[in-house]
Chains A and B, each alone.
Chain A
Amino acid sequence: MTMRVADPVRPRRATGATVVLLGAVGVLVAAFFQLQVVGRSEFELKSRDNRLRPITIPPARGAIYDRRGRVLADNVPGYSLSLLPSPVDSARATLERLASYLALDSADVEAHLGRFSRRPQSALVIADNLSFQQVAAIEERRPEFRHTVIDTHPRRRYPSGPAIGHVIGYVGEISEDELESESFQDYDAGRIIGRQGIERQYEASLGGTPGVRYVEVNARNMIVSEFGGKSTVEAVTGTDMILGLDLTLQEYADSIFPEGMRGGLVALDPVNGEVLALYSYPTFDPNLFIGGISTDDWTRLRDDPDRPLLNRATTALYPAGSTWKLVMATLAMRNGSLGIGSVMPTSCNGALQYGRRAFRCWKPNGHHVLDLSGAIKESCNVFFYQVGLRLGLDPLLEGVNSLGFNSATGIDLPTETSSRFPITREWYDERYGPRGWTESVILNLSIGQGETEQTLLRMAQFYSALALGESPVIPHLIRNEALDQRRESWTLNLPEERRLELLGALKRVVNEPGGTAYGSRLQNWTAAGKTGTAQNPHGDPHSWFVGFAPAEAPRIVIAVIVEQGHPDNQRSLAVPLANQIMNRFLELEGVEPNPPLPIPRRVVVPLNTADE
Chain B
Amino acid sequence: MRAGSDSRAAFLGDPGLVGMSVLLALLGIAMIYSAGRVELPSVATGAWRRQLMWLAIAIVAFFSVTRVPLRWLEWATPWIYTLSVLLLLVVLAVGSGPNTRSWLRFGGISFQPAELAKLGTVLMLARFFAGRRDTVQRLAELWKPVAIILVPFFLVLAQPDLGSALIFGVILICALYWAGVPLLTIFMLVSPGVSMILGFSAAIWGVWFLILIGVLYVRRPFFIEALFVALANIAAGATTLPLWNRLATYQQNRLLVFLNPEIDPRGAGWHLIQSQVAIGSGGWFGQGYGQGPQKRLSFLPEQHTDFIFSVVGEELGFLGAVVLLLAFTWFLRRVLVLALRAPAGYGSMVAFCFFGVWFAHLVINVGMTVGLMPITGLPLPFLSYGGSFLLMMFIGIGIVARVATER
Distance in angstroms between the alpha carbons of A40 and B340 in the assembled complex: 41
Digitize A1-45: 1 where CB-to-B-CB distance is under 8 Å, 0 elsewhere: 111110101110110111001101101110111111101101110
Distance in angstroms between the alpha carbons of A40 and B337 in the assembled complex: 37
Which single member of B135, B293, B352, B366 contacts A51 (CB below 8 Å)? B293
Complex interface: chain B residues within 8 A of A33 (CB): 318
A7 to chain B, nearest CB (A): 5
Q: Which residue of B lies closest to A218 (CB)?
A: B297
Digitize A317-352: 1 where CB-to-B-CB distance is under 8 Å, 0 elsewhere: 000000000000000000000000000000000000
Distance in angstroms between the alpha carbons of A29 and B363 in the assembled complex: 11
Interface residues of B in 192-222 (CB under 8 A from A): none
Contact A43 B178 (CB under 8 A): no
Digitize B260-304: 1 where CB-to-A-CB distance is under 8 Å, 0 elsewhere: 000000000000001011111111100000000110011100000
Which single member of B278, B298, B322, B325 contacts A218 (CB below 8 Å)? B298
Complex interface: chain B residues within 8 A of A24 (CB): 359, 363
Complex interface: chain A residues within 8 A of B71 (CB): 1
Complex interface: chain B residues within 8 A of A28 (CB): 325, 363, 366-367, 370, 372
Distance in angstroms between the alpha carbons of A35 and B284 in the assembled complex: 10
- B188 contacts the other chain (Cβ, under 8 Å)? no
Contact A40 B280 (CB under 8 A): yes
- B332 contacts the other chain (Cβ, under 8 Å)? yes
Query: A18-B336, A47-B293, A219-B299 in contact; A5/B344 too (CB < 8 A)?
Result: yes
- A97 contacts the other chain (Cβ, under 8 Å)? no
Contact A22 B329 (CB under 8 A): yes
- A488 contacts the other chain (Cβ, under 8 Å)? no
Contact A21 B332 (CB under 8 A): yes
Tally of chain B residues near chain A (CB < 8 A): 54
Distance in angstroms between the alpha carbons of A222 and B294 in the assembled complex: 14
A214 to chain B, nearest CB (A): 12
Digitize B346-389: 1 where CB-to-A-CB distance is under 8 Å, 0 elsewhere: 11100010010001000100110011100000000000000000
Complex interface: chain A residues within 8 A of B178 (CB): 10, 13
Contact B299 A50 (CB under 8 A): yes
- B321 contacts the other chain (Cβ, under 8 Å)? yes
- B160 contacts the other chain (Cβ, under 8 Å)? no
Complex interface: chain B residues within 8 A of A22 (CB): 329
B209 to chain A, nearest CB (A): 25
- B343 contacts the other chain (Cβ, under 8 Å)? yes
Distance in angstroms between the alpha carbons of A27 and B322 in the assembled complex: 11
- B317 contacts the other chain (Cβ, under 8 Å)? yes
Which single member of B274, B283, B336 contacts A17 (CB below 8 Å)? B336
Q: Which residue of B lies closest to A24 (CB)?
A: B363
Q: What bracket does the count of chain A residues touching chain B fall in? A: 35 or more
- B19 contacts the other chain (Cβ, under 8 Å)? no
Query: A32-B318, A32-B321 in contact; A43/B355 too (CB < 8 A)?
Result: no
Digitize B298-337: 1 where CB-to-A-CB distance is under 8 Å, 0 elsewhere: 1100000000000001000110011001101100110011
Distance in angstroms between the alpha carbons of A31 and B276 in the assembled complex: 10
Distance in angstroms between the alpha carbons of A257 and B274 in the assembled complex: 69
Q: Which residue of A lies closest to B349 (CB)?
A: A10
Contact A47 B277 (CB under 8 A): yes
Distance in angstroms between the alpha carbons of A106 and B322 in the assembled complex: 57
B40 to chain A, nearest CB (A): 6
Contact B280 A46 (CB under 8 A): yes
- B61 contacts the other chain (Cβ, under 8 Å)? no
- A293 contacts the other chain (Cβ, under 8 Å)? no
Distance in angstroms between the alpha carbons of A9 and B276 in the assembled complex: 41
B274 to chain A, nearest CB (A): 8
Complex interface: chain A residues within 8 A of B328 (CB): 25
Query: A44-B283, A50-B277, A218-B297 in contact; A13/B344 too (CB < 8 A)?
Result: no
Contact B180 A31 (CB under 8 A): no
- B177 contacts the other chain (Cβ, under 8 Å)? yes
Contact A219 B370 (CB under 8 A): no
- B87 contacts the other chain (Cβ, under 8 Å)? no
- A220 contacts the other chain (Cβ, under 8 Å)? yes
Query: A9-B180, A219-B299, A220-B40 in contact; A36/B325 too (CB < 8 A)?
Result: no
- B406 contacts the other chain (Cβ, under 8 Å)? yes
Query: A32-B279, A47-B294, A50-B294 in contact; A37/B284 too (CB < 8 A)?
Result: yes
Distance in angstroms between the alpha carbons of A216 and B367 in the assembled complex: 30
Complex interface: chain B residues within 8 A of A4 (CB): 343
Contact B297 A219 (CB under 8 A): yes
- A224 contacts the other chain (Cβ, under 8 Å)? yes
Which single member of B180, B321, B359 contacts A36 (CB below 8 Å)? B321
Which single member of B282, B297, B336, B348 contacts A216 (CB below 8 Å)? B297
- A217 contacts the other chain (Cβ, under 8 Å)? yes
Complex interface: chain A residues within 8 A of B337 (CB): 14
Distance in angstroms between the alpha carbons of A40 and B276 in the assembled complex: 10
Complex interface: chain B residues within 8 A of A29 (CB): 321-322, 325
Contact A32 B370 (CB under 8 A): yes
Contact B325 A40 (CB under 8 A): no
Query: A5-B344, A28-B370, A28-B372 in contact; A224/B297 too (CB < 8 A)?
Result: yes
Contact B298 A219 (CB under 8 A): yes
Distance in angstroms between the alpha carbons of A4 and B297 in the assembled complex: 57
Interface residues of B in 70-123 (CB under 8 A from A): 70-71
Q: Which residue of B lies closest to A14 (CB)?
A: B340
Which single member of B294, B339, B347, B372 contacts A27 (CB below 8 Å)? B372
Distance in angstroms between the alpha carbons of A9 and B344 in the assembled complex: 10
Distance in angstroms between the alpha carbons of A427 and B359 in the assembled complex: 96
A259 to chain B, nearest CB (A): 63
Distance in angstroms between the alpha carbons of A28 and B274 in the assembled complex: 18
- B345 contacts the other chain (Cβ, under 8 Å)? yes
Distance in angstroms between the alpha carbons of A21 and B337 in the assembled complex: 13
Distance in angstroms between the alpha carbons of A14 and B338 in the assembled complex: 10
- B39 contacts the other chain (Cβ, under 8 Å)? yes
Complex interface: chain B residues within 8 A of A217 (CB): 297
Distance in angstroms between the alpha carbons of A43 and B278 in the assembled complex: 8
Query: A10-B340, A47-B294, A50-B294 in contact; A36/B70 too (CB < 8 A)?
Result: no
Contact B344 A7 (CB under 8 A): yes
Complex interface: chain A residues within 8 A of B352 (CB): 17
Contact A18 B333 (CB under 8 A): yes
Complex interface: chain A residues within 8 A of B276 (CB): 35, 43
Interface residues of B in 241-263 (CB under 8 A from A): none
Contact B336 A51 (CB under 8 A): no
A sample of 13 inter-chain contacts (CB < 8 A) reads A1-B406, A10-B344, A21-B329, A32-B313, A32-B325, A32-B370, A36-B280, A44-B280, A46-B277, A50-B297, A51-B299, A216-B297, A218-B39
Known: A1-B71, A36-B321, A47-B280. 10 other contacts (CB 8 A): A27-B372, A28-B372, A31-B370, A33-B318, A36-B282, A43-B276, A47-B294, A50-B277, A51-B293, A220-B298
The 7 closest A-B CB pairs, nearest first, are A43-B280, A9-B180, A47-B281, A36-B318, A218-B297, A219-B298, A35-B280
Chain B residues near A (Cβ < 8 Å): 39-40, 70-71, 135, 177-178, 180, 274, 276-284, 293-294, 297-299, 313, 317-318, 321-322, 325-326, 328-329, 332-333, 336-337, 339-340, 343-348, 352, 355, 359, 363, 366-367, 370-372, 406
